Structure 1
Amino acid sequence: MKWQITLKDYQLYLKIERGLSQNSIDNYTHDVEKLITFLEENNISQSPVIITSEVIQQFIYQIAKQVNPRSQSRLISGLKSFFNYLVFEDYRPDNPLELIESPKIGRKLPDTLSEEEIDTLIKAIDLSKPEGERNRAMLETLYGCGLRVSELVNLKLSDLFFDEGFIKVNGKGNKQRFVPIVAITQKYINLYRKEIRTHLNIQAGFEDTLFLNRRGKQLTRAMIFTIIKQLAIKIGLKKNISPHTFRHSFATHLLQNEADLRSIQLMLGHESITTTEIYVHLDKSHLTKVIEKYHPRK
């Protein structure tokens, strides 16, 4: 069985069976392609159904010289997923990475913005330009609803249920969730819709897309990153921030104001509460408040 044929079948499985986004599929594909390149460069002719653990070990040993432990761990995880698929489809009896351990890495937490830093960033937006109202509405939505950047750029007009106080979010694996949206965020979205969006020459296929570029098309993830990086430079912010920083700050500020983890998990769209714990990094001061407020022996 040839690598490229197997890889195409795997991509279809990730899309249809697992419902992953194209970005996730590309990442998984890239992991397998690295292994294929290694085999070609070393004239190793083992197919995906017969490749041995020893060959995989050689590949990982070489990769370990080129990337950091976090990237190495992600690659191993991606390859394990690929070979688990082959086992699932009965193409091979075992996973050659079954006994291969990922390097131990610490949990890296992204920078968090304070409420004051978020306010300063948003106030730095130039509202004299047409895109200013849009950018303010986008950042308010990122922070106010804790969205992923992909969820923000794919947000539809038909996803807005302002009368009910919610927006519908299409998350990872096409899983939908409803997230509360506060009045201030609704206000800035409505300002953008009425004052800017209605004057755009909206292209076919993007009539229902909420946030659009000047040409009336959907914004890219990269454009959101650029907008935020430029604002950080403008106010002299030294932290390394991205759209995800707003999501992380959303969760952290909710926790600090005594929201429960289960509610935060539902709003973020995490399948596991463990993932939520990583994002909100339970700090000692919060735990102390919980004990003092809820323990019967306080």
Structure 2
Amino acid sequence: MDKYLIWLHSVKGYSILTCNVYYKYAKLLNESNMDYNIALSKFPNISNNTKRVILSAIKKFYYYKQDKRYTEIVLPKKNKIVCDYLSIDEYQKILNYVLNKKRVNWLKILMIRLLFETGIRSSELLSINSLDIKDNKIIIKGKNNKERLVYLSPSLTKILNNVISKTNGSTKIFHFGYKSLYKKIKLLGNKVLNKNLTPHMFRRGFATHCISNNIGIYELSLMMGHDNINTTKLYLRNDDKISVMQTLFN
């Protein structure tokens, strides 16, 4: 199992979060006599989306073990749900809340602004290295170790450089994991917006704001690190333009 975890991370290039999920269900499959039906029977009332995650992980482990049963597995269709996101107004409220503290936490400001203004994934944020920063650009290592550039505004570049100058020689910017990031974001959502906020809602908010400002879907897919433009379409929300339909036929 340890070799499998190494394979997921080093060969497939998956993030630590993805590796941990795949490892969890591969371990469950092992405990279920390598029978995916037995493994699935332990989750009787799950959505198609959760079932897809479990089956994807099981299928990957079968593939790794060269077990032909990976060809038997057909992933169910995703449930279509309307995902919430962080609006530009909500983002400004959170930013102002943190900026107006007696003692401003610039690392937290950097965290908030990078998530919303670049649309990077949580795993990408936490793995940012000062060696990957070139002037106003950051080389982001995304899924499957695919690299892309994200561009920073002058004010965000200034904050980033300020934070780096106080890291005492460490190349890592954020010295905490996803659980800590999730708690920080959730706390901000509760205090400022009375909303159940998650890190991924910043990414959806970024996509929504870009589309509202006439950024094309192809350009957006490049910025978000999507291999398939259909993935980018899942993030599209434009409530301002959609709401106009309410008055079209008055």
Q: What TM bracket, shorter-length normalisation? A: 0.7 to 0.9
Q: TM-score, normalised by structure 1?
A: 0.72
% identical equivalent positions: 24
Q: 1: distance between equivalents of 2:171 and 2:9?
A: 24
| Structure with larger Rg | 1
1:56 maps to 2:50? no
Structure 2 residue aligned with 1:294: none
1:145 maps to 2:102? no
Q: 1:207 aligns with which of 160, 170, 173?
A: 170
Asked if the contact 2:90–2:193 (Cα under 8 Å) also holds between the matched residues in 1, the reply is no
The 1:19–1:191 alpha-carbon spacing in structure 2 relative to 1, beyond 3 Å, is: closer
Deviations 1:118-151 (A, max 9, x none): 0001111154236x12211221111111111222
Q: 1: distance between equivalents of 2:110 and 2:58?
A: 40
Deviations 1:65-102 (A, max 9, x none): 15443222211111112212333xxxx4x22x534444
Structure 2 residue aligned with 1:171: 142
Structure 2 residue aligned with 1:263: 219
Q: 2: distance between equivalents of 1:133 and 1:169?
A: 21
Q: 1:186 aligns with which of 123, 134, 157?
A: 157
The 1:173–1:133 alpha-carbon spacing in structure 2 relative to 1, beyond 3 Å, is: same
The structural deviation recorded for 1:272 is 1.2
Deviations 1:150-196 (A, max 9, x none): 2212212222223xx322112222222111111232233344445xx
Asked if the contact 1:144–1:185 (Cα under 8 Å) also holds between the matched residues in 2, the reply is no
Structure 1 residue aligned with 2:247: none
Q: 2: distance between equivalents of 1:249 and 1:272?
A: 19
Aligned length: 242
Q: Greater shift after overlay, 100-109 or 150-159? A: 100-109
Structure 1 residue aligned with 2:206: 250
1:123 maps to 2:79? no
Structure 2 residue aligned with 1:73: 52
What is the aligned-residue RMSD (CA, Å)?
A: 2.6
1:19 maps to 2:13? yes
Structure 1 residue aligned with 2:184: 227
Gapped regions of structure 2 (runs ≥ 5): 245-250
Q: TM-score, normalised by structure 2?
A: 0.84
Gapped regions of structure 1 (runs ≥ 5): 1-6, 40-47, 49-54, 212-217, 289-298
Asked if the contact 2:130–2:172 (Cα under 8 Å) also holds between the matched residues in 1, the reply is yes
Q: Greater shift after overlay, 12-21 or 141-150? A: 12-21
Q: 1:84 aligns with which of 63, 70, 73?
A: 63
The 1:58–1:260 alpha-carbon spacing in structure 2 relative to 1, beyond 3 Å, is: same
